[in-house]
Structure 1
């Protein structure tokens, strides 16, 4: 892959800047604070994004996503135009504010989904360069402070190279894989373990087999219980039929009793109806009204008897007065008659004296006749009152009898409601329906219920014994199926154990073969690069699984740290470039270098720069520097970009 263009919308101090790169060597020159490190960080961030959850360092350093926030714009991002190894032109756009990335092809079609990029990992470079972020920053991306490797960097490269040397993949560790496989074998267990899956399945198989044997033996012991249970069910069914018969008899007896009560009420109703009088209420009311009207003129008296008494006393007084006046008149007339015999004038007086007495007697006599008539009228009213009182008494008796009739009729209604029928005929029909005819119950209903309860309790005991011991064909078949399943699991586990053993053996053999190829390849590249970098001075740089660098010098093996700092830096440069080639064996990776030669002497600078120029014919190189000697550029086709 090579980078053709980098355009920055806003990144640190760089705003709306475009940089065009060519194949081969690209030399980016600029004094301090002109944006070299910013441009280099922009390209890295476009490929791999910013580190996730990066915090402020103890030395006061701030996370990259905050460090490179644009100074003069809100737009935080940009795009790269790149040419992939398969000659496709891609445009990679990234917005660091929204943490989004989009990839377009040469037809401006969105092809982001073709890559494994996600917001969680943010690493498009893994697809394009064939290495993850750590491998990239420890090999192809050489910052000014990365000319030597720190222990943690060596450890990471060592792990990645070991993975490659063992499995052929930088993220696949054969050691870890073998460890997991052996842990799986241990986890499955065998005859020599006690609590592993294998042992658990064996224990389950033995226990289920024992239970199946017990189930079959228990079934044979429960024949008598089965027979008793059947007999109890038949007896309970017979008693339930008997109990229903008793219940039917109770209903029949209840209906018969209700029928007799209903018929008795019918007779009582007839008797009461026969006792009712034939009083004409309207005539009574009319006669009572007339009587009350006639009696109204005597309202000053207590009752008619008192009026009769008053009239009798008055008539008696009048009779006494008449008798008195008669006697008195006779005496007077007799005396006058004697005197008139002597004197004639007394006869006249006698005649005149008799007239008042006669008139008075006649008046009293007339009044007595009137009183007698009044008395007769009073007696007639008294007779009418007596008759009305007798009629009223009969009406009261009729009302009482009507109340009794209503009570009897209500009792009839209650009887019909109690039996849930509409009328007497329906009551008779119900009695006919529930009549037992020739069948009679042997027990009372209470006896039936008691016997049923006793039989059911015994049946519950028998069933409990059967549930405890007897197992159905389905249960036995289920147990046999479970044993079969456990057997299959055991067989599968044994097959898995064999497969794991074969896998361990195969991986170890394959790892051995790959390791024999990768480490030598790494050493071959380091030696080749170091030979050219040091102008043929050193040609045998070797490393192993610890990534310690050793070389053969003057027929003895010496550590790289026994040489001068200049030579040591050249050795680590060869190490990084060789690691980059191994990491991205299937990709052509650009190499980024920031002030890599700043500590080199003149000869080392020339030999190293000449080598890098030759290497740029295969890998695009972005070489960032403050300045560079003209003699290093002599007769070299190099693209120079100057930052102001």
Structure 2
């Protein structure tokens, strides 16, 4: 992409225009003349302004830092050459709480919109990199010389030192692995503690089952012993019954013999 002209209502810039030429452009001007403001404006035109940023200690959100000094609304126009065509990109503000969110991209000199180019994807479509990569590589402000960690930049760096795969990021991989580890075990929660508790319960049930099987085996053994005792007692009882019957038969025979002898004596005496 080749930037040709920028016009801005942005911070100290009030309807000012910056004309650029082919090749390397070096802007030299005294302090507080708007050099950093033009840099921030270019980023805002390409990637928009994060309206959700809030001021913090030592930090002023861009929507407040670059609010027009005269109290007006942010707006801008960027003319560039990309993909063999001249494009005109404009951003305006409808609501002060969401500056430069109204986006329009047309072919220069026409009213024909550029298909597929939106305020959300403008910078990444034209430059091929995300905002995070842009701000950490090709476009570094004075306050941003210390490059911070970012997944998008890691993917771009990885693509330079590997086979060109831009989908790999250490931070994303680390976060994914950390989430997986937390899912598996985090203190006393997670999948592993749950499975361990389930395993312990199953082991307890298995131990109880083994005890019940042992008790059943002991009961069967006692039952067999008792059945053997019953058979033995039955045999002994049968033997006793036979012995008692034999005794009664002998007693009956003796009594019969005595009766016959008594009868003979009676007969003799008679």
TM-score by shorter chain over 0.5? yes
Distance 1:69 1:52 in 2: 12
Query: Could you say what secondary structure the match of 1:131 adopts?
Result: coil
- Hey, what does 2:122 align to over in structure 1? 124
**Equivalent position of 1:144 in the other structure:** 142
Q: Per the alignment, in what secondary structure is the counterpart of residue 126 of structure 1? A: helix
> 1:63 aligned to 46, 61, 64, which one?
61
C-alpha displacement at 1:97, in angstroms? Answer: 4.2
> What is aligned with 2:6?
6
Q: Secondary structure at the match of 1:114?
A: coil
Alpha-carbon shift at residue 162 of structure 1 (Å): 2.9
Alignment match, 1:373: none
One of 95, 101, 108 as aligned partner of 2:110: 108
Question: What is the rounded CA distance, in whole Å, between the counterparts of 1:7 and 1:80 in structure 2?
Answer: 7
Aligned counterparts of 1:145 and 1:168: Cα–Cα separation in 2: 31
Q: CA deviation at 1:26?
A: 1.0
Q: TM-score, normalised by structure 2?
A: 0.56
CA contact (8 A) 1:50 1:64 kept: yes
Separation in structure 2 between the aligned mates of residue 49 and residue 169 of structure 1, nearest angstrom: 28
Distance 1:71 1:44, change over 3 A: same
User: Structure 2: which 5+ runs fail to align?
Assistant: 96-100, 181-193, 195-270
CA distance in 1, matches of 2:152, 2:125: 20
CA distance in structure 1 between the partners assigned to 2:106 and 2:150 by the alignment: 36
Cα distance in structure 1, aligned partners of 2:152 and 2:114: 29
What does residue 517 of structure 1 align with?
Answer: none
Structure 1 residues 52 and 173: alpha-carbon distance in aligned structure 2, compared to 1, 3 A threshold: farther
**Matching of residue 24 in structure 1 with residue 23 in structure 2:** yes
CA distance, structure 2, for counterparts of residue 6 and residue 92 of structure 1: 10
2:51 touches 2:63 (CA, 8 Å); kept in 1?
no
Alpha-carbon distance in structure 1 between the residues aligned to 2:21 and 2:5: 9
What is the Cα deviation at residue 110 of structure 1? 3.8
Taking a change above 3 Å as real, the CA distance of residues 41 and 146 of structure 1, as seen in their structure-2 partners, is same
Matched, 1:90 2:87: yes
1:43 maps onto 2:42 in alignment: yes
1:34 aligned residue = 33
SS in 1 for 2:25: strand
1:434-473 aligned within 5 A: none
Question: Would the aligned equivalents of 2:151 and 2:169 in 1 still touch at CA under 8 Å?
Answer: no
Residue 81 of structure 1 deviates from its aligned partner by 0.5
Equivalent residues of 2:6, 2:17 under 8 A apart: yes
Paired position in structure 2 for 1:80: 78
Q: Which runs of 4+ in 1 moved over 6 A?
A: 174-177
Distance 1:49 1:174, change over 3 A: closer
Q: What is the count of residue pairs matched by the alignment?
A: 175
Q: Is the 1:102–1:110 contact (alpha carbons within 8 Å) kept by the matching residues of 2?
A: no
Question: 2:130·2:152 contact (CA, 8 Å) conserved in 1?
Answer: no
CA distance in 2, matches of 1:48, 1:73: 23
Cα deviations by residue, 1:84-112 (Å, 9 ceiling, x for unpaired): 1x220000000144411100103423424
Change (3 A) 1:44 1:50: same
CA distance in 2, matches of 1:53, 1:169: 32
TM-score by length of 1: 0.25
Cα distance change of structure 1 residues 54 and 174 upon mapping to structure 2, 3 Å threshold = closer
Note the 1:558-597 alignment, pairs <5 A: none
Correspondences of 1:439-518 after superposition (within 5 Å): none
1:272-283 maps to which residues of 2 (within 5 A)? none
Structure 2 CA distance for partners of 1:159 and 1:83, relative to 1, 3 Å: closer
Task: Give me the whole-angstrom Cα distance separating, in 1, the residues matched to 2:168 and 2:43.
Answer: 26
Match of 2:157 in 1: 161
Offset of residue 173 of structure 1 = 2.8
CA shift digits 1:372-401 (9 cap, x unpaired): xxxxxxxxxxxxxxxxxxxxxxxxxxxxxx
Kindly state the Cα deviation for residue 174 of structure 1 after the two structures are TM-superposed: 7.5
Aligned to 1:558: none
Cα deviation, residue 73, structure 1: 5.2
Cα separation, 1, equivalents of 2:165 and 2:80: 25
| RMSD of aligned Cα (Å) | 3.3
| TM-superposition CA deviations, 1:324-368 (whole Å, max 9, x none) | xxxxxxxxxxxxxxxxxxxxxxxxxxxxxxxxxxxxxxxxxxxxx
Over residues 2-59 of structure 1, what are the superposed CA-to-partner deviations in whole Å (9 max), with x where a residue is unaligned? 1000011x11111111111001111211111111111111111000111241111222
Match of 2:37, SS?
Answer: helix
C-alpha distance in 1, partners of 2:150/2:71? 39
Deviations 1:235-256 (A, max 9, x none): xxxxxxxxxxxxxxxxxxxxxx
Contact conserved, 1:12 with 1:38, CA < 8 A, in 2? yes
* 2:158/2:164 contact within 8 Å kept: no
- Looking at structure 1, the residues matched to 78 and 41 of structure 2 have their Cα atoms a distance apart, in angstroms, of 10
Structure 1: unaligned runs, 5 residues or longer: 184-194, 196-644
Contact 2:132–2:150 (Cα < 8 Å) also in 1 = no
